[in-house]
Structure 1
Amino acid sequence: MPTLLVPPLVVAPLMARGRRETRLRSFAAVNGLVYDRSAPGAPAQGALFQLGHEQRTLRRFRGSWGGGRFEVGNFVLRTQPGRRCCEVTTGYLILGPLPAPGAVHSWVRQAPPCALPTTHVERSGDTVVAHTLEPLDFADPGTWELVQTLRAQLAG
């Protein structure tokens, strides 16, 4: 897993002109992150990710901060297969290792950090999953400030 070498994050590529996708890929490269535009399935085993059908991840960034794994992205949940009207998108942040698929684990809901737009936070062992009210706009440097603040409050 790549390591985030430059704290704080270098946001200059996000401010540059050009296509959004190119700027996001440049941002990931400069900061030592792995960027995926889309991935099938749910990114974690938390209770919120287990709801509904046709789960997929959009614009996901993975890496590590201070030796700990993290993943941040947008998660799309379609509650009725084949019907776009029943689609919900939420942002998420995962800190720590993901539990092995099929392993027995329990998720415990915890209070969201103060003053941050999170609706749902779960913990299972060393792993914390937080969901935001709205999808995350990764081309906005303010989103990355929020991610760093959320990471500090959840890990601390």
Structure 2
Amino acid sequence: MKYVTAFQNWLRPAGASFDHLHKQLVAVDEYGVQIEAEAARVAADPAIYRRILHYVTHRQMMILGNDYAVGFADFGHRYQTIAVWPLGPALLPWEYTREQVDGISDVLHALHCAVGPAVPTNEEWYHRPVDLDVPLRFRILLNSALRPWQVSKAPPGFTSTRSTRGRWATKW
């Protein structure tokens, strides 16, 4: 086993066996094309993640963020995708502090709330394989394969709401 990844499917149209939250933990025998290609790009350009964040910020693709993570409209995917990227150094998921995990979770939960419970979604978690020395960024992708995003009616003030831990999640 070379790599382990996690997926969540919400509702049958997103891949759940029936209308519920379906979680999968997948062990893979090889890295796969995406990880190998990303590792080569990061090795060639160590500032690539910073440049991507600069691009999405200046193209107004940023949806929300706090001190620990940002959520933005991602690109290069088959279906509409929102990416959640932790801020700071590229760590493995289990290397984050409790406070960082809570901050990342705040962004992910806010995005799920904005999308709404009636929209079938897939949540995919990606991280650097433990035996790879290139600093790949941990990220969570939230996507819907059915149609363009149709966000549920968010509560008033959603674009600038205080999280349960008192940090601001603000639309950028």
Q: TM-score range by the shorter chain?
A: 0.3 to 0.5
Whichever structure has more strand as a proportion of its residues is 1
Whichever structure has more helix as a proportion of its residues is 2
Q: Which has the larger radius of gyration?
A: 2
TM-score (norm 1): 0.32
TM-score (norm 2): 0.30
- RCO higher in 1 or 2 (8 Å CA, sep ≥ 6)? 2
